[in-house]
Structure 1
Amino acid sequence: MTTSNATDPQQPGRFGPYGGSHLPPHLEAPMAEVAAAYESARQDPAFMDEYQVLLAKYVGRPSLLYRADRLTEHVGGARIYLKREDLNHTGSHKINHCLGEGLLARRMGKSKVIAETGAGQHGVALATAAALLGLECEIHMGAIDVAKQHPNVVRMELLGAKVVSVTTGGASLKEAVDSAFEVYAANADQYLFAIGSVVGPHPYPSMVRDFQSVVGREARAQFLAAEERLPDAAVACVGGGSNAMGLFSGFLEDPEVALYGVEPAGEGLETGRHAATMSKGTPGILHGMATRVLQDANGEPAAVHSIASGLDYPGVGPQHVFLNESGRARYVAVTDEQTLAAFTTLTRVEGIIPALESSHAVAYGMELARELGEEAAIVVNLSGRGDKDVDYVAEVLAARA
């Protein structure tokens, strides 16, 4: 499960100047325990075998690589393939790392898992893994997202999770992370913090990437089988960036495959109402990692906005910053309007309702397909399904009618 561009063994958790472990003293020992436990687990064939069996027999992997012929025809350009992570059990890529984190918690003798969630997909996946593995589960979620993503709140509670609505600050994903970290810090002997993306202190950016790397390995093999060559580009949405790192990991050693991460431009980069960290962020420290951060005039994490709750985060995974600065990946941004248009198009043209997060990738994938032309072929990671978003989207569209 080792991936390229992994961390420097001499500086664990570093991606060039980014990543690492920037923690208050009381969290240093718990995070070191997690890092040591993961390093042991990833080298244990029994642990990895159990994980792989769950991916196949419980999640339903491999997920489908689907050639979207009607979308391709509608767009006019490169052949568009969708990596159908929306077909996984629980409806997104999040189950891939949640099962790994749940297994790790059990291995460490923890009785509970705790996490943040934005759109609720990570929360649902972790609650599912906890139910399967006999663990208690606590999910912290911004109050704004609790209202937007009510179906996922119900799902988490039905699965036995305790959902904590966070009302401080912007009441969104960043505050949910802060709140969950506070509880974890006071109860690290009982809990494993199951971070939901390739963010946070070492080992989480590497650990979550490794558990998500199955997406890229499958996509590479499936595309070679379908086209007898590699794709011209791979496209995925980026908030923290777990689904993108999962897809990108399969192609990092293939320079002929362009990698595109798609961030939320929200209401427009010029408005300040966005969450495009790579486009507008500056180097900083956030949630225990050195990365790029959207910051206000006082150097604090800025208020951010995206129509997609799962991308509503003022930072980004440190490996993404490294890939951007090294030139291996390119990061672009699409607006809420473009995202809604892509959501509607894929739904009506292919009969596939995508998550609003994934719709960012679909929006740019359609644009890129037109640009590359009919001889090209691309893979777009459809990271999740849009069941959770349909009521909210219906309200937005009705208000604009």
Structure 2
Amino acid sequence: MSIAGYYGNYGGSFIPEILYPAFNELNHDFDKIKKDPVFWHEYCEMLAGFSGRPTPLTYANRLTDHFGKAKIYIKREDLNHSGAHKINNALGQGLLAKRMNKTRVIAETGAGQHGVATAIVAAKLGLQATIYMGREDMERQYANVFWMKRLGAEIVPVDYGSCTLKDAINAALRDWVSSFETTHYLLGTASGAHPFPEMVAFFQSIIGIEAKEQILRLEGRLPSHVYACVGGGSNALGIFQSFLPNREVELVGVEAGGKGQASGQHATRLAYGEGKPGIAQGYKTYFLQDNDGQMCDTYSIAAGLDYTGISPIFADLFEKGRVRFEAATDDEVIEALQLVMNQEGIIPALESTHAFAGAFKDIVNTSASDIYIINMSGRGDKDIFNIAEGLKDGEWKKFIGRKYKQYE
């Protein structure tokens, strides 16, 4: 018999007593709307009219010809309003917050895309928004910080710990403790205490629903492989869910290999075998932690992938062997990014490029009868500073120098 909020041995709700009322209310209202076809219709109508869904499944003919192996399709979540899959979940939870008569939302963000999506939804629905972001991530993703502020959100820098995503989550939880009567915590990834993993996966499931319909229409059959990058897990769960019952479809999650396993500078919980089961931030899953159970600092060229934990849903799917996990290093990601840009005229986010890098490493073992779907969870314009640095672009460096001198 399954227990609500658990996926095998993982998940749960390990929360302070003061948050029981908030979680009880959230569980009650989410349980109502997930069974309500009127709510789902309203949600899909807003996705279509405001965000631009369905997003296309693009045949990557030049990449396919380049490798001469599997046929490659790209699920284009970059074409959502705000440039990433994050708007799917933000809209769903925003509508839920309105149903719950909340007037304010709070959120954490790493790469900034969830923060931007939250700020957009708050503006659209007439909600106040406060967004917590690690200082390190603010420096790496200042363009997104700029837009969040312009959209009317309050941005709160987090200056402790590693100053990245896990610390932003801790700060948002502390806010919620004292404000839950008027505030909904719009968590961006499929992690945290129940019902957040289920809720985020529910709202992101639209990705896989569309992708499955699209590939059957285009090819008349299912893909052989589906790839997605995995930080907390929202975009990967979004596309994988529809294919979970189809055992012939291999599902591959690609984690942030950073500077490589030996360097210790990465965010790979499962592919490198370094994650250990533990309880933190309200749930049980695999975390990168030391022998004393303290969370380790993480690193990735992609700000959205440097989370120390992983969705409990993926912890379970990993142990059951249903999802294979691989890692892509920063160097492999930069190489893959250059190839995608030059071959397809598409600029994926650094997070999404991990999925491309993982797929490209595997493709040598495929044939023309195989079909790949790669989930492009976001676009790369937010990453221009990091990409220029990764490509060692001297002209960009000179440009930044000139602009700096203009403001001196």
TM-score (norm 1): 0.96
Task: Indicate the SS of the match to 1:277.
Answer: coil
Q: Where does residue 20 of structure 1 map in the other structure?
A: 12
Task: Indicate the SS of the match to 1:270.
Answer: helix
**Can you list the C-alpha shifts for 1:157-202, whole angstroms capped at 9, x where unaligned?**
1111111111101001111111111111111111100110100000
Q: Does 1:377 align with 2:349?
A: no
Partners of 1:363 and 1:396 lie apart in 2 by 15
Q: Does 1:259 align with 2:229?
A: no
Structure 1 position 75, deviation (Å): 2.5
**Can you list the C-alpha shifts for 1:76-118, whole angstroms capped at 9, x where unaligned?**
3111100000001110100001000000111111100001000
Q: Is the 8 A contact 1:76 1:369 kept in 2?
A: no
Structure 1 position 71, deviation (Å): 1.2
Report the CA distance shift for 1:108/1:336 in structure 2 as closer, same or farther (over 3 A): same
Partners of 1:373 and 1:163 lie apart in 2 by 48
Q: Where does residue 287 of structure 1 map in the other structure?
A: 281
Residue type at the aligned position of 1:203:
P
Task: Indicate the SS of the match to 2:328.
Answer: strand
Q: Where does residue 155 of structure 2 map in the other structure?
A: 163
Q: Is the 8 A contact 2:301 2:386 kept in 1?
A: no
**Can you list the C-alpha shifts for 1:107-137, whole angstroms capped at 9, x where unaligned?**
1111000010000000011111111111011
Task: Indicate the SS of the match to 1:97.
Answer: helix
2:384 to 386, 390, 394: 390
Structure 1 position 57, deviation (Å): 1.1
Q: Where does residue 77 of structure 1 map in the other structure?
A: 69
Q: Where does residue 193 of structure 1 map in the other structure?
A: 185
Partners of 1:73 and 1:48 lie apart in 2 by 40
1:124-203 equivalence runs, <5 A: 124-203=116-195
Structure 1 position 400, deviation (Å): 8.8
Task: Indicate the SS of the match to 1:131.
Answer: helix
Find runs of 4+ consecutive structure 1 residues off by over 6 angstroms: none
Gaps of 5+ in 2: 396-408
**Can you list the C-alpha shifts for 1:335-367, whole angstroms capped at 9, x where unaligned?**
011111111111111110000000000111122
Task: Indicate the SS of the match to 2:346.
Answer: coil
Report which stretch shifted further, 72-81 or 82-91.
72-81
* Count of paired positions: 393
Report which stretch shifted further, 71-80 or 97-106.
71-80
Structure 1 position 399, deviation (Å): 6.9
1:5-154 equivalence runs, <5 A: 11-154=3-146
2:361 to 367, 379, 382: 367
Residue type at the aligned position of 2:257:
A
Task: Indicate the SS of the match to 1:398.
Answer: coil
Task: Indicate the SS of the match to 2:256.
Answer: strand
Gaps of 5+ in 1: 1-7
Q: Is the 8 A contact 1:145 1:309 kept in 2?
A: yes
Report which stretch shifted further, 21-30 or 105-114.
21-30
Structure 1 position 46, deviation (Å): 2.6
TM-score (norm 2): 0.94
**Can you list the C-alpha shifts for 1:282-309, whole angstroms capped at 9, x where unaligned?**
0001211110000023211110001100
Structure 1 position 26, deviation (Å): 1.2
Partners of 1:236 and 1:12 lie apart in 2 by 27
Task: Indicate the SS of the match to 2:205.
Answer: helix
Task: Indicate the SS of the match to 2:27.
Answer: helix
State the identity as a percent.
46
Q: Is the 8 A contact 1:293 1:314 kept in 2?
A: yes
Partners of 1:76 and 1:315 lie apart in 2 by 36
Task: Indicate the SS of the match to 1:300.
Answer: coil
Q: Where does residue 231 of structure 1 map in the other structure?
A: 223
Structure 1 position 24, deviation (Å): 1.4
Residue type at the aligned position of 1:329:
V
Q: Is the 8 A contact 2:197 2:312 kept in 1?
A: yes
CA RMSD of aligned residues (A): 1.3
Partners of 1:18 and 1:48 lie apart in 2 by 28
Q: Is the 8 A contact 2:5 2:12 kept in 1?
A: yes
Structure 1 position 368, deviation (Å): 2.2
